[in-house]
Structures are given as structure tokens and as C-alpha cells.
């Protein structure tokens, strides 16, 4: 059946299409557009006439769709009793209610392999840091220097640049091709860091891996949000974090098997993972149907939907609905720049709150501590870095699973209190333990090669166990808290009209400040000792707790509309109940309206 001819059919097929899109819920725009199609038919069903008209929206692009992750599904008009019959009829005709089968699962896993590559790189680099230092004779007789810190930190600026341009690339060449370009960058960067004899080429390889990470995560989030059922969108995007932990555990397991001294074979796995994902892209990942419809390639879009497991009738109905939504886009596209500009001026407070989430995250240490965890273990006299590193991976896995399982039960604030509060306690234990060990900068403990220090450190073994336990606990609490919730909260507090900008600013802030923290951590160890450095993190964790208590709203079980209403009411109450100045709400005869969590300028 031709997608273009679908709206001209009689009402029963249109009703089946609406039921299909509602059952499948793969494309939220499709579900919203189906009532409009029904209203045009001569014998429109009651549901179509009762449905409120959907607001005009810009066709979802990477910059907007990718940031709606974790947002509650839009309110749905209750279906009449006859909907059950249509649902049963649909199930009987296709043999199943939902297309979520093995092909859909393979597509999701293929896209999530971006997290697998990032997780392996994160933990593998922490394991091979000291062998790389010895191979290239970095730092001389000192334990730390700028070159060593750059090997860790150069990933962050590359990720910031890749994230900035990843959305543009995906909109220009498609989600599938953009993911392939990310894999190409992974192969280049991984080959440079595993096979280069010059340290400058190693640094260049780290930068390329950062570019790949930035592009890959933006495109991954866009693709998953465009193909996922609304009810499962948050869980499917969170699966990337789980695969990231699997990559981390794989890195520690490989280091355990071959030894960290064999760092080139360990790092050569990174380009191999890039090649593996590229092959899976070819076999299992169709192009995003929404992007194909945006380009006017309706036959290819229907074919992509069928590759995801949807039957022919549902695929045709979804293409019709997406085409109707695309026809609305030119009307709104001319207002896009104006809408963003107005959104910044009106929603500056929520944008600042989103960026502050990145600051609160990094104030607790963030991923920087995990990058240097092997060095920290060695300073405490724990020299079996393979066992210690694998324990770190298990702690992160437990934290991620705890966050995913409890975020919609306990809520965001309770998990943040648990994660940040637990991190603060861990920093206190680390401060006391390193103060007891009395280690000076540039020295390792007696059990890691300097026997002359062992005599004066009678409390070495108990304090080392405390350091080990506190570091593992920190990784767990960090994964429960900000590691899993920073972007979730940032995307919920920012209105849809500026959500892409808000989450983009949050991500860039996290990468830029993370780069500064990563190149500064070991110099801080040298300047103020380990105990002094973790004392600074105590202060940062307390400030992060105060931020959560005072400013972070609870979004569990609340629609985006209600969250925005509460965010708007807070400054009004603080001003004595007075309304905002008229100039902030209305200008040039236009007003801001919220429709299903969206912001738009209406006449």
C-alpha cells in the first residue's frame, strides 16, 4: 500500500492505524498526528472528534529529540470501549501487539555499543596509565607531570567539540551514517594510541577518541529516542550506561588476563570495538524513520520500520502520521531562531539550574577519581591493581543498577541525597586515611616499591583497607547519584523549547570543567597532599548537597508541564507572590504557552 494514499482511505483503516500507533507508541508524533488524519475522513470515529488538536512542532532533530530522554510521555486521550476490539483485531492480523522483538532489540544493542566503547576506554586507560608513563619516560623521577595528566584529560575537549557538532552531522547525513563516522573516529584514535611510538601521537589519538565519544553519544540518544516506545524510552537510553559498565568490567578483566604491562594489546581492543559496531550498523541498524520522512524518502522510511519489526500496515500508518507532522514543520521552522532567543530570555533561571547540575556533579569528584583510581590505590599501598580495578567495575555496576531500578520509585532527590551524602562520607574516610598514612607527594608506599617507607608506617595496612573500601563505596554512590541523574534532571527542569540548548550547555560545562579537574588532580596531590585534596572534595560534596536540597525539584510521577509550573511558581513566591513583569511574559503581541510540555510562541 502506498503511504501517500493512506489518508484517502475509508475510516476503518485510519482507525486501525491510530490503534496501531497507540499500541506501538514507537513514534509519539505519529500517535499525535493520527487524530488529525481521522478528522479528515468522512466517517471519523468519536476519538478523533474529541481529541484536542496537536500543537505545531518543529520536526524533531538531534538537538531537540535527544534531550527528551526520560521525560514523561504526553497525556493521551482515553480510548472508547471499541478500542479494545480494534486492538484485538490488530493483534489477530499481525500475530502480536507490539513490534518489540529481536530485530528491535538488536538495533538498540547496536546503538548502545557506543557506551561499550566509552566504558572500555575509561577503565582501560586508568589501568595502563602507569605502564604508558614508564614506556615513554614521562615525568622523570616524579610521579606526576603535565604529560601524564594530558593523556587522561584530552578526551574531554574532544568530546565537547564532538558533542557540539554531532547533532549537525546527524541532521545532515543521517543517524546511521553519523554513528558510522563515530566508529571511524574510534578506529583512528584507537589505532593511534595502541600503535604509536611517539607520545604526541598518543595524545592525538586520545583527542580523536573524544571526538568519537561526543558524536556517538549525541547520535545514539537521538536515534534511540526516535525509535523507542514512550513508556520504555528512559529505560532503553539507560541501557547505554549498563553497557558502559560492561565495557569497564571487560577492560579490567582483560588487564587481569594479560597484565597491565602489555598495554598495547589492551588498547588495541578499542579500534576492534569500533569495527564491530560498524559491522553491526550494516546488518542490524536501519536508518531513523523520522529522518527519512524528513528527507521525503517515505518508501525507505516504511522499509526501516519493517526492519525494526513492525508489520506492513503499522509501518504505512506511521509513515502517514510522520508525513503529516512533517508538513507542519515549515510553518514553525521560520520561528525556530526566534523561539530559542525568546526561550533563553524567559527561561534563563532554568538554564542556569541545568548548568549548575554539572557544577554540583564535578564538585564531588565526578569521573576524574575513577580515571586516577589505580594511582590512588598505589599511593595507599594497594599494588594489585588488576583485582582493585575489577572491584571498581563491580561497584559501578551495582550503582548503575541501583539507580536504574529506584529512580522512578524513590525519586530523583532521594537518590541524589543518597549518592552525594554517601560520596561525602567516603571523602571524609579518604581524608582521614591518607592523613594517617603520612604519604608525601611523589612517593609510593613500601608495598609498591619503596621499602624504606614501610618501617615508619605501622598503620599502613589498616588505613589501606579503609582507602580501598572508601574508594569502592565512592564509585557506588557516585553511580547512584550524579553519574546517572545529571542529564535526567537537566532535561526535566528545562522547557522543551530550550531543552536542547540547556542539556547541550550542561554537557559542555561538564566536559570543559572535567578537563580542568583531570589535569589538576595529580598536581593537587603534589601541592596539598592526598588528604588535602579529598578535604576539598568534602567541601564540594556539602555544597552539592545544599544545592540538591534547595534547588533540585522532584520530578517523579510529574509531567513536564507540572515541573515547569512549579519552577515558575518558585520565583513568584520568593517575590512575595507578585507575578512576573509583563515584559518577561509578553512582547510584540506574543505570549508563551505550554502545550504537553512544549514551549512555543503563539499569536
CATH homologous superfamily for the domain 347-603: MFS general substrate transporter like domains (1.20.1250.20)
305-315 pLDDT per residue, tens: 877 777 777 87
Contacts of 205-209 with C-beta under 8 Å, sequence gap 24+, read 206/151, 206/154, 206/155, 206/158, 207/154, 207/155, 207/157, 207/158, 208/158, 209/121, 209/155, 209/158, 209/185, 209/270
Residue 537 has pLDDT above 90, yes or no: yes
Tell me which H or E stretch contains 501. Answer: helix 499-551
C-alpha cell at 594: 505550554
For the residues 455-483, what does the mean pLDDT come to? 77
- Answer yes or no: pTM beyond 0.75: no
User: By C-alpha distance, which of 141, 253, 152 is closest to 207?
Assistant: 152
Residue 456 has pLDDT above 50, yes or no: no
pLDDT at 595: 34
pLDDT at 540: 92
What are the DSSP calls for 236-260, one per residue?
HHHHHHHHHHHHHHHHHHHHHHH-T
508-525 pLDDT per residue, tens: 788 888 888 888 888 888
Cα separation, 175 vs 216, whole angstroms:
10
pLDDT at 324: 65
Name the H helices within 11-101: 11-24, 28-40, 46-50, 62-65, 82-94
The sheet carrying 598-602 orders its strands as: 586-587, 590-595, 598-602
Residue 436 has pLDDT above 70, yes or no: yes
Q: Which residues of 329-352 are buried (b: 16+ CB within 10 A; e: fewer)?
A: beebeebeeebeebbeebbeebbe
pLDDT at 30: 39
For the residues 355-378, what does the mean pLDDT come to? 85
pLDDT at 570: 56
Q: How confident is the model at residue 188 (pLDDT cuts 50, 70, 90)?
A: very high
End-to-end C-alpha distance for the chain, whole angstroms: 39
pLDDT at 274: 92
93-145 pLDDT per residue, tens: 333 444 467 888 888 888 888 889 988 988 888 788 878 888 888 876 666 67
pLDDT at 477: 93
For the residues 19-47, what does the mean pLDDT come to? 41
Cα separation, 437 vs 458, whole angstroms:
9
Fold: same for 100-309 and 347-603? yes
**Cβ atoms of 373 and 248 closer than 8 Å:** no
pLDDT at 185: 93
Cα separation, 495 vs 508, whole angstroms:
19
For the residues 304-327, what does the mean pLDDT come to? 73
Comparing 6 with 303, the larger pLDDT belongs to 303
pLDDT at 207: 92
67-78 pLDDT per residue, tens: 333 333 344 444
CATH 3.40.50.1220 fits 100-309, yes or no: no
Summary mean pLDDT of the chain: 70
C-alpha cell at 39: 478528522
Comparing 357 with 344, the larger pLDDT belongs to 357
Percent of the chain with pLDDT strictly greater than 90: 13
Comparing 169 with 192, the larger pLDDT belongs to 192
pLDDT at 192: 92
| For the ranges 169-178, 208-217, 437-446, 567-576, the one whose mean pLDDT is highest | 208-217
pLDDT at 235: 62
Residue 365 has pLDDT above 70, yes or no: yes
β-strand partners of 601: 592
Q: Which residues of 414-436 are buried (b: 16+ CB within 10 A; e: fewer)?
A: ebbbbbbbbbbebbbbbbbbbbb
Cα separation, 318 vs 59, whole angstroms:
15
What are the DSSP calls for 302-353, one per residue?
HHHHHHTT--HHHHHHHHHHHHHHHHHHHHHHTTHHHHHHHHHHHSHHHHHH
Residue 366 has pLDDT above 70, yes or no: yes
Cα separation, 392 vs 373, whole angstroms:
8
**Cβ atoms of 450 and 534 closer than 8 Å:** no
As to burial, measured by CB atoms within 10 angstroms (0-12 exposed, 13-18 middle, 19+ buried), residue 200 is exposed
Domain boundaries, the chain: 3-94+312-333, 100-309, 347-603
Q: How confident is the model at residue 417 (pLDDT cuts 50, 70, 90)?
A: very high
As to burial, measured by CB atoms within 10 angstroms (0-12 exposed, 13-18 middle, 19+ buried), residue 469 is middle
For the residues 298-310, what does the mean pLDDT come to? 79
For the residues 546-574, what does the mean pLDDT come to? 67
Secondary structure, 3-state, 348-406: HHHHHHHHHHHHHHHHCCCCHHHHCHHHHHHHCCCCCHHHHHHHHHHHHHHHHHHHHHH
Cα separation, 593 vs 144, whole angstroms:
55
Enter the DSSP assignment of 69. Answer: T
Tell me which H or E stretch contains 462. Answer: helix 460-480
pLDDT at 233: 55
Cα separation, 128 vs 397, whole angstroms:
21
Amino acid at each position: 500500500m502506498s503511504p501517500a494514499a493512506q489518508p484517502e482511505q475509508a475510516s476503518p483503516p485510519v482507525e486501525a492505524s491510530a490503534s496501531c500507533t497507540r499500541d506501538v507508541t514507537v513514534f509519539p508524533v505519529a500517535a499525535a498526528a493520527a487524530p488529525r488524519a481521522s478528522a479528515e475522513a468522512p466517517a471519523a470515529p468519536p476519538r478523533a472528534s474529541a481529541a484536542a488538536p496537536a500543537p505545531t512542532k518543529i520536526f524533531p532533530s538531534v538537538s531537540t529529540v535527544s534531550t527528551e530522554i526520560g521525560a514523561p510521555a504526553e497525556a493521551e486521550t482515553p480510548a472508547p470501549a471499541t478500542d479494545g476490539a480494534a486492538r484485538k483485531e490488530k493483534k489477530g492480523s499481525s500475530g502480536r501487539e507490539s513490534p518489540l522483538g529481536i530485530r528491535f532489540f538488536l538495533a538498540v544493542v547496536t546503538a548502545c555499543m557506543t557506551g561499550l566503547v566509552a566504558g572500555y576506554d575509561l577503565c582501560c586507560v586508568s589501568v595502563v596509565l602507569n605502564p604508558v608513563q614508564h614506556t615513554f619516560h614521562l615525568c622523570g623521577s616524579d610521579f606526576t607531570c603535565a604529560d601524564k595528566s594530558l593523556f587522561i584529560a584530552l578526551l574531554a575537549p574532544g568530546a565537547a567539540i564532538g558533542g557540539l557538532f554531532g547533532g549537525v552531522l546527524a541532521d545532515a547525513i543521517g543517524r546511521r551514517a553519523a554513528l558510522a563516522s563515530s566508529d571511524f573516529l574510534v578506529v583512528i584514535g584507537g589505532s593511534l594510541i595502541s600503535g604509536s611510538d611517539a607520545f604526541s601521537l598518543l595524545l592525538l589519538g586520545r583527542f580523536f577518541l573524544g571526538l568519537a565519544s561526543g558524536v556517538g553519544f549525541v547520535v545514539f540518544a537521538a536515534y534511540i529516542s526516535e525509535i523507542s516506545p514512550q513508556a520504555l524510552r528512559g529505560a532503553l537510553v539507560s541501557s547505554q550506561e549498563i553497557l558502559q559498565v560492561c565495557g569497564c568490567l571487560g577492560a579490567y578483566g582483560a588487564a587481569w588476563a594479560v597484565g597491565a604491562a602489555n598495554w598495547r594489546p589492551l588498547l588495541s581492543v578499542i579500534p576492534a570495538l569500533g569495527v564491530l559496531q560498524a559491522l553491526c550498523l550494516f546488518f542490524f541498524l536501519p536508518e531513523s524513520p523520522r529522518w527519512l520522512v524528513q528527507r521525503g524518502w517515505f518508501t525507505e522510511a516504511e522499509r526501516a520500520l519493517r526492519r525494526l519489526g513492525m508489520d506492513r500496515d503499522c509501518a504505512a500508518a506511521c509513515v502517514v502520521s510522520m508525513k503529516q507532522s512533517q508538513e507542519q514543520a515549515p510553518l514553525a521552522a521560520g520561528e525556530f531562531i526566534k523561539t530559542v532567543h525568546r526561550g533563553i530570555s524567559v527561561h534563563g533561571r532554568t538554564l542556569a539550574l541545568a548548568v549548575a547540575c554539572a557544577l554540583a556533579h564535578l564538585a564531588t569528584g565526578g569521573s576524574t577519581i575513577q580515571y586516577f583510581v589505580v594511582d590512588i590505590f598505589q599511593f595507599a599501598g594497594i599494588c594489585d591493581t588488576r583485582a582493585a580495578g575489577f572491584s571498581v567495575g563491580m561497584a559501578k555496576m551495582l550503582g548503575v543498577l541501583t539507580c536504574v531500578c529506584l529512580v522512578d520509585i524513590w525519586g530523583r532527590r532521594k537518590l541524589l541525597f543518597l549518592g552525594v551524602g554517601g560520596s561525602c562520607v567516603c571523602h571524609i574516610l579518604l581524608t582521614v586515611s591518607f592523613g594517617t598514612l603520612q604519604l608525601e607527594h611523589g612517593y609510593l608506599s613500601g608495598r609498591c616499591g619503596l621499602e624504606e617507607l614501610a618501617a615508619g608506617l605501622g598503620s599502613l595496612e589498616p588505613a589501606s583497607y579503609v582507602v580501598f573500601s572508601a574508594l569502592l563505596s565512592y564509585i557506588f554512590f557516585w553511580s547512584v547519584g550524579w553519574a546517572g541523574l545529571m542529564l535526567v534532571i537537566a532535561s526535566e527542569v528545562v522547557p522543551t523549547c530550550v531543552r536542547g540548548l540547556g542539556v547541550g550547555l550542561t554537557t559542555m560545562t561538564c566536559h570543559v570543567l572535567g578537563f580542568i579537574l583531570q589535569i589538576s588532580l595529580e598536581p593537587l596531590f603534589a601541592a596539598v597532599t592526598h588528604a588535602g585534596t579529598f578535604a576539598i572534595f568534602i567541601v564540594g560534596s556539602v555544597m552539592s548537597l545544599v544545592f540538591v536540597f534547595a534547588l533540585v525539584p522532584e520530578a517523579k510521577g510529574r509531567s513536564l508541564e507540572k515541573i515547569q509550573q512549579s519552577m515558575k511558581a518558585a520565583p513568584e513566591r520568593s517575590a512575595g507572590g507578585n507575578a512576573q513583569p509583563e515584559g518577561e511574559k509578553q512582547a510584540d503581541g506574543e505570549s508563551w504557552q505550554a502545550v504537553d510540555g512544549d514551549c512555543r510562541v503563539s499569536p
